Structure 1
Amino acid sequence: MGEVRKLQKKLRQIDNLELKVSLTPEEAVKVSKKEELRSRLAELLLQLSGPQQTHCIVGEEEDKMKRQVENRTEHHTDHTPAVKLAREDHQEKEDKTKSEAEEEIKERGGGGQSQKLPDPDAEFTSLKALWEKAKFRLRILKGHSDIITCVAAVDNLVISGSRDTTVKVWHVPTATEQRNLGGHSGGVTCLNTPPAEYCRKLASALHLSEKERFIISGSTDCCVRIWTLSSGQCVKSIYTFNAVTSLCFIAEWEGYIVTGSDAGKLQVWDWLSQENRQSVNAHLDAVTTLQSQGPLVFSGSTDGSVCVWEVCDGAAEPLNQLQHWRSEVTGCSRVDEATARLRLSARGDHIFLANGKSSIRVFNWRTGTMRRLTNHSSTAGVTDCVNQIPGVLVASCFDLTSGENTLNLFSLPQCRYLVSLTSSDLPRILCFAAWLTPSGGHRWVTGGRELTVWEQLPGNVKKRGDVNARRDSRLDSLLAESDGDSQEESEDEDEDEDSMANDASDAEEVSGSSWLRCVLQ
């Protein structure tokens, strides 16, 4: 079992090394051993699965066994009571809610014809069936020369930011590059597209067409730039004095830009005047994720902490801190410097957190309680990003053992597993954006080593899609209560340091700069 975890950790570090701009000769040698390590790991997993399960396994069945066996061998029975209690508690709450609702209907109906209650299981079954039949066409947009770190979308346009220092605008229907926005001198780390009404305000102040849309980009060159979408002109540049690692737009009052730095600082900028309204040392390490939700702003850091802020217009400092939860509470302690990243997606009182581990943290920011949502059947899975579309949570999952990448879908608000979407050559997904077409179909864009557009095909189209929809029953378990990492994840962190000395040096090399700490290199 110890060798299995060591191999998993080596593969994790090799995958991060592959995302670097360039490799030293020593690093190149380590990367060249990836397939050899994967073969050895698959061999160990088959041996550990038991001789009775290895007979007559060939072709696809053998590959399936390699994917499934780790879950069987590393599953700890210590978790069973917690999951069982969570299920029983969930069932009791459902029964109680249903009973109370029936009583209320009887009281209102007085003895007349009873009203039929909506069946949540029926709704879930219907949603699951829809996604199991979903077809997507994938198109690769080629033009960036380095890792795509951030993506956004406006109408029929996709905007992508890359470590190659450029922001590109793509026309989705024709899959062609429309604009190349060059101006940053460092890697682009974050993008945002302000709402149309705020774009009209800035366009009026700049004497531009009221139909103009804008793009905001942040970079390690310490600059935030505002670009016109129609011409690609940079109309404003804000120097922040720190490498910008994340940003968001607050669509409240006159509008604000909030930036996060590699040193943990948050800064608030007025949308129309671009004046600095506030600077606060919010976190102890790089702010890797920012999201606004009405008058609230959520920030997350490499150090595993999460802050919640309230926007107070008219105040000298627009952001007022409501909560600050450290990693001991969020359960987002990092595995190592090479994979230390935190991404979040907020929904009401809950924040979905992805920090490079096999499960998603579902954190209640008001009460400080955390639960784990299974996103991979074993600790060999890496969750790089998490996002939401109407009624569905979308999470990426990269399998260190096989190199397979999937998007897992969960229903909201129940967080019940729906389906996994994957393609044979799908690269590791580091960023995700989604929007709906005028006809109501889904259109997504994912970035990482490649920029990929996912376009949903109509249900009546007989053409086979480029994406396979499948279900992994091992992800069907309910949310598990937890006050930290699972035993498997904790053990994975506590590997023998002496035997992993060379790999630790790799991690130091990978994390040698703020950019490498904040975006997987």
Structure 2
Amino acid sequence: MLAVTEDAVCSLHLDYSFSSCFLRWHREDAPGALPSQTPPASKILKGEEESKAQATPAPTARQRETGGGAEIGRQQERTELAKVSDHLRDVSGGCPESDKEQQLRQEEAEFTSLKASWEKAKFRLRLLEGHNDIVTCVVAVDNLVVSGSRDTTVKVWHVPTATEHKNLGGHTGGVTCLSAPPPEYCKRLAWSLSLSDKERFILSGSADCYVKIWALSIGQCVKSIYTFNAVTALCFVPEEDGYIVTGSDGGKVQAWSWHTFEHCQSINAHQEAVTSIQSQGPLVFSGSAEGGVSVWENQCSDRDPLRLLHHWSGQVTGCRGGPGGRLTLSPRGDRVFLAYGQAWLKILHWRTGTTSRLTNHSSITGVTDCVHQTGGLLIGSCYDLANGASTLNLFSLPQCRYLASLTWPDAPRILCFAAWTTGSGDHRWVSGGRDLIVWEQLPSSGKQRGDVTVKRDSQLDSCFLESEEDTEDDEETDDYRDDDDSDEGRDTRSDGAEDGGSGSWLRCVLQ
């Protein structure tokens, strides 16, 4: 068990090597309109992926000259300017070289500033003790952290004091997933239950086949939905009256009305268990144990609200593997970041099916259990099966450039992760697995402690996105990992959450 005192402060110190390979990744693909046959999905919002390049201002007009010689001079000048303009278009794709250089300098300055901020960052770690088994899921609501565990309980924690606020018992199987509806949807349900309009609700899914809706202020279950299947993933879709979308251990995706809690749809979507479901605007993304990813459009209908837009198999995503694995996903515009127990993150361009790979560990024995986005950060967890080392790797978005790796002595394997920011803009994170830990960012001034360090990895420091032209390397790595997981790759600790690769996660939560 990790022993972390409440006043433990972490200091991040990094010695960046600016001479490392510079990656200039193309701007984030802004989610434009879908093909004409699926126009409703165009409601998805465009975010920070918009290009920051400004149009070149038109040159100032000259004062009017008189006389035939002046007119001839103007014609000659326009001809020369046209030749120069054409030349610039030829060498720079239609954009003057000065503007391209200016954009590069701006992007580099932004990345340098981000690196500098992490160079000075410090965190206080707080251990939240109370669960009797593996923490499988976490979510943050205001100043509260909600965690679900294989011990069948949902616990609510008060972050400022690091104390248990509520113990929500009611499930008879391991809790596998959590989701927090937005405040405006909580108000509607609170009004129907005669509760305060400030009431917040949490959804929990369990291997006991139930989805339960909890009122946090009173610590009670206000609604139970029996799904006839062990629930392995869920999310809330904030469209129209709202929908609850669940995934089962048999690969089924189901939809439920938030307004009436009636069953709306049931689809045999995947061959293996659904291990991750996330929403983005009117779109729903589901990932499964066999590595497949499906993209659904919410049609805001009382019956059959989900319509399949795309399905990409594990062979396409590069996340294929044996049954019992776990794929977690995090969508961003036209891209979906995928983690599937490998030493890298996969990036799926879900409209086209093209993929790229982002190195998340320099060793083949490293496994990635979860991926998360917060602000301009991409955070991937990594656990080394060979030596038991656990880290959080930070990348900048949208370029996916490596920033730092955070670790501390005896850091446990991180199976789930959530992040949010305070009113002052500081980071607060919560990680779960064998231990449940809250990370609270502190001002850079003050005495520094060495509880959390920055682990530099030269291969990650110069990492770049690799296109997936062929998957031969993936197949070799997957074969190696299967052998490693079955024998020597297992952690020597007795904890059931760390007995090999990511496949153990799904088995453990359903027991």
Range of TM-score over shorter length: 0.7 to 0.9
Shift of 1:496: 12
Residue 376 of structure 1 corresponds to 361
- 2:142 counterpart of 1:191: no
Whether the 8 Å contact between 1:134 and 1:459 is mirrored in structure 2 is yes
Q: Which moved more, 1:126-135 or 1:185-194?
A: 126-135
Whether the 8 Å contact between 2:200 and 2:216 is mirrored in structure 1 is yes
* Superposed counterparts of 1:270-281, under 5 Å: 270-281=257-268
* Superposed counterparts of 1:416-455, under 5 Å: 416-455=401-440
Shift of 1:468: 1.3
Shift of 1:110: 6.8
Residue 313 of structure 2 corresponds to 326
- 2:412 counterpart of 1:461: no
Query: Once the two structures are superposed, what CA deviation does each residue of 1:173-202 show, in whole Å capped at 9, x if it has no partner?
Result: 111111100000000000011111100000
Count of residue pairs the alignment pairs up: 422
Whether the 8 Å contact between 1:124 and 1:411 is mirrored in structure 2 is yes
Residue 464 of structure 2 corresponds to 478
The AA in structure 1 aligned to 2:239 is E
Unaligned runs of 5+ in 1: 1-83, 92-99
Secondary structure of the residue aligned to 1:490 is: helix
Whether the 8 Å contact between 1:205 and 1:272 is mirrored in structure 2 is no
Taking the aligned partners of 1:515 and 1:220, their CA distance within structure 2 comes to 13
Residue 105 of structure 1 corresponds to 56
Shift of 1:121: 1.0
The AA in structure 1 aligned to 2:213 is I
Query: Once the two structures are superposed, what CA deviation does each residue of 1:204-261 show, in whole Å capped at 9, x if it has no partner?
Result: 1111111111010000000000011001110000000000000000011111100000
Residue 127 of structure 2 corresponds to 140
Taking the aligned partners of 1:445 and 1:298, their CA distance within structure 2 comes to 23
- 2:396 counterpart of 1:396: no
Whether the 8 Å contact between 2:326 and 2:506 is mirrored in structure 1 is no
Whether the 8 Å contact between 1:457 and 1:465 is mirrored in structure 2 is no
- 2:255 counterpart of 1:268: yes
Describe the shift of the 1:166–1:89 C-alpha distance in structure 2 as closer, same or farther (beyond 3 A).
Answer: closer
Query: Once the two structures are superposed, what CA deviation does each residue of 1:386-441 show, in whole Å capped at 9, x if it has no partner?
Result: 00010110000111222111100111111111111111121000000011112211
Taking the aligned partners of 1:186 and 1:109, their CA distance within structure 2 comes to 73
- 2:146 counterpart of 1:159: yes
Shift of 1:313: 1.1
Taking the aligned partners of 1:356 and 1:149, their CA distance within structure 2 comes to 15
Whether the 8 Å contact between 1:245 and 1:518 is mirrored in structure 2 is no
Name the % identity. Answer: 61
Query: Once the two structures are superposed, what CA deviation does each residue of 1:134-193 show, in whole Å capped at 9, x if it has no partner?
Result: 111111111000000000111111100000000000111111111100000000000011
Shift of 1:486: 5.8
Shift of 1:503: 8.0
Secondary structure of the residue aligned to 2:326 is: coil
Name the TM-score, length of structure 1 as normaliser. Answer: 0.75
Match of 1:150 among 121, 129, 137: 137
The AA in structure 1 aligned to 2:414 is I
Match of 2:211 among 224, 246, 257: 224
Shift of 1:453: 0.4
Higher radius of gyration, 1 or 2:
2
Taking the aligned partners of 1:399 and 1:293, their CA distance within structure 2 comes to 31
Unaligned runs of 5+ in 2: 1-20, 28-51, 63-97
Residue 76 of structure 2 corresponds to none
Residue 20 of structure 1 corresponds to none
Whether the 8 Å contact between 2:346 and 2:357 is mirrored in structure 1 is yes
Taking the aligned partners of 1:473 and 1:372, their CA distance within structure 2 comes to 17
Name the TM-score, length of structure 2 as normaliser. Answer: 0.76
Shift of 1:485: 4.2
The AA in structure 1 aligned to 2:135 is I
Secondary structure of the residue aligned to 1:107 is: coil
Whether the 8 Å contact between 2:290 and 2:323 is mirrored in structure 1 is no
RMSD: 3.2
The AA in structure 1 aligned to 2:222 is V
Shift of 1:378: 1.8
Secondary structure of the residue aligned to 2:56 is: helix
The AA in structure 2 aligned to 1:144 is H
Query: Once the two structures are superposed, what CA deviation does each residue of 1:20-52 show, in whole Å capped at 9, x if it has no partner?
Result: xxxxxxxxxxxxxxxxxxxxxxxxxxxxxxxxx
* Superposed counterparts of 1:331-350, under 5 Å: 331-334=318-321, 336-337=322-323, 340-350=325-335
Query: Once the two structures are superposed, what CA deviation does each residue of 1:271-325 show, in whole Å capped at 9, x if it has no partner?
Result: 1211001111111110000000110000000011000011111352110110000
Describe the shift of the 1:383–1:495 C-alpha distance in structure 2 as closer, same or farther (beyond 3 A).
Answer: closer
- 2:161 counterpart of 1:171: no
Whether the 8 Å contact between 1:331 and 1:484 is mirrored in structure 2 is no
Taking the aligned partners of 2:131 and 2:383, their CA distance within structure 1 comes to 22
Taking the aligned partners of 2:164 and 2:482, their CA distance within structure 1 comes to 47
Residue 3 of structure 1 corresponds to none
Describe the shift of the 1:497–1:410 C-alpha distance in structure 2 as closer, same or farther (beyond 3 A).
Answer: closer
The AA in structure 1 aligned to 2:428 is R
Whether the 8 Å contact between 1:328 and 1:484 is mirrored in structure 2 is no
Whether the 8 Å contact between 1:408 and 1:421 is mirrored in structure 2 is yes
Describe the shift of the 1:403–1:109 C-alpha distance in structure 2 as closer, same or farther (beyond 3 A).
Answer: farther
